[in-house]
Structure 1
Amino acid sequence: MRLSISHTTRYGFSQPVAHGLQRLRLTPKSSHGQSVIDWTMDFEGVRLEAEYDDHHRNRTALVSVEPGATAVTVVCSGTVDTADSAGIVGEHVGHLPLWHFLGQTELTRPGPRLRALVAGLDAARAQPLETLHALSTAVRDTVAYTIGATDVGTSAEESLGAAQGVCQDHAHIFIGAARLLGRPARYVSGYLMMNDRIDQEAGHAWAEVHIPGLGWVGFDVSNAISPDERYVRLATGCDYRDAAPITGISVGAGQTALEVRLAVAQQMMGQ
């Protein structure tokens, strides 16, 4: 499937910025299951300082906010060919060893609620894939998809307690639980083509777990499936903070307003 993506992010500031830096992980890479045909990233209000692959092999751009800017706009667009591999991404590559993905983070660290969720799984008799699919179902049944109930700083344990969250929260809970089961797990940020609409409110997030003999396998808890040809992977990491599309700091900006416009659609081959 060929997917056409247009993604605009705009930050408006109530006061002129004195100094600011932003780290952008908004460039997909060709890998198992996806091939980037073309991709561009344009800026307004910032200057490109450096481009590099980070420790997770995410293509990263470091930009500085122009002094006095009252708005920053980042526009990404391109086309990506994808294939359905039943969620299987393949063997581990990169700078970090697999054991690194067993360590819990501030956002995935288990408390009593997450431990109880894992204890309810019949992991002793089930095969790894069966256990992980059962875990995905348990997370989705426990935490209702609710926009606005959590934010980027909400931990897995907190969203479990609230029984509400979004794809980011589902991924953090699933990752923390998978690590409790002794499985290396990581967070994925990216895009998902929705079947019922082109325009979307935000990007998407899901999880991947490393299983011997298969490699990394994806689990989209929010949609109760493994990623297929409708998904485009942008970045991976131990949690949201490692794979966030945009992170940064600013001095003197005052209040910040965020506006996102995202469209993901299937493009006919040859167009």
Structure 2
Amino acid sequence: MHLTVNHVTHFKFGEPATHSIQYIRMTPRADLCQRVRSWDITASGRLTPWSDGFDNQAHVATYDGEHDEVRVTVTGEITTSDTNGILPMDDGLPPYIFLTPTDYTDSDAEIEKFAKPIGKVLAAEGALAAGHALMAAVAEAVEYKSGQTNVTTTAAEALAAGKGVCQDQTHLFIAAARHLELPARYVSGYLADSTGNDSHLASHAWAEMLVDGLGWVSFDPANDQCATDAYIRLALGLDYGTASPIRGLRSGGGVEEMDVSVRIEEQQ
């Protein structure tokens, strides 16, 4: 697919901030499933490119002096390919890193109980079948419903609530997979909506799990499917904290309001 992206994130502060810094991971990764035609990131602050520990191509935006708003704009064109949701294990990142527990993905007794039937599938049919079974189980256990969780919600909390968004479902998938000793990682990106006007769908998150003999296989519990050419991969990491599109710190500013506009369109 030939896709165009227009993504604007606008932060408005209740009172002037004196200093802000943002970590922006909104540049597509170079891999077999996508080729960037053009990509541009602009911010109202000073923008410095960098590469993080997961080889995500990122930027640091720094804002000095009093300011009451911050704006980040992403525009670009990209060509995507359907690889059946599979990518080779050739990104130079040791798979065992993605067994590391985090605050978001720590398992508890309920997650271990949740993962037990998946462990039986793993033993009988292998990792690929276990991944598909886990994806379906997460979709059933955590109903997709916005407004029930927030960016600090953990996998255990999402499972207990039974509701959440793609971030929560992805964290639960990763937590259960790691409990079963299956390396799994968090991917942030975009999902092109067929109507082209649903920002909620456009910004997305899903998991990738290592399957011996295949590579990294994508699993999207929110849609109960593997990634297709409608997906754009931006960043990967252990969890939301290490793969989030934008995270920041500031001095002052008071209450913050955020407005996001995302538009993904297919070009003929």
TM range (shorter): over 0.9
Q: 1:66 and 2:61 equivalent?
A: no
- Structure 1 segments of 4 or more deviating over 6 A? none
Query: Which residue is 2:107 aligned to?
Result: 110
Offset, 1:198: 2.6
Query: Which residue is 1:255 aligned to?
Result: 255
Q: Read off the aligned partner of 1:217 and give its amino acid letter.
A: V
Change (3 A) 1:263 1:59: same
Out of 51, 54, 60, the residue aligned to residue 52 of structure 2 is 54
Deviations 1:131-160 (A, max 9, x none): 110111011111100101001110000000
TM-score (structure 2 length as normaliser): 0.96
Q: Secondary structure at the match of 1:186?
A: strand
TM-score (structure 1 length as normaliser): 0.95
CA contact (8 A) 2:167 2:240 kept: yes
Alpha-carbon distance in structure 1 between the residues aligned to 2:233 and 2:64: 30
Query: Which residue is 1:14 aligned to?
Result: 14
Q: Secondary structure at the match of 1:80?
A: strand
CA contact (8 A) 2:43 2:61 kept: no
Q: Read off the aligned partner of 2:187 and give its amino acid letter.
A: V
Q: Secondary structure at the match of 1:259?
A: strand
Structure 1: runs of 5+ lacking an equivalent: none
Structure 2: runs of 5+ lacking an equivalent: none
Query: Which one has a larger percent helix, Structure 1 or Structure 2?
Result: 2
Offset, 1:196: 3.3
- State how 1:8-47 maps to structure 2 within 5 Å: 8-44=8-44, 46-47=45-46
What is the RMSD computed on CA atoms of the aligned residues? 1.1
CA contact (8 A) 1:17 1:65 kept: no
Out of 71, 80, 83, the residue aligned to residue 82 of structure 1 is 80
Query: Which residue is 2:146 aligned to?
Result: 147
Q: 1:205 and 2:205 equivalent?
A: yes
Q: Secondary structure at the match of 2:128?
A: helix
Offset, 1:63: 1.2
Alpha-carbon distance in structure 2 between the residues aligned to 1:142 and 1:29: 31
Offset, 1:53: 1.1
Deviations 1:53-89 (A, max 9, x none): 1110001111111311111111101011000011001
- State how 1:82-231 maps to structure 2 within 5 Å: 82-94=80-92, 96-121=93-118, 122-123=120-121, 124-201=123-200, 203-231=203-231
Deviations 1:142-195 (A, max 9, x none): 110010100111000000000000000010000011111111110000000012
Change (3 A) 1:107 1:249: same
Once structures 1 and 2 are overlaid, which stretch shifts more, 193-202 or 229-238? 193-202
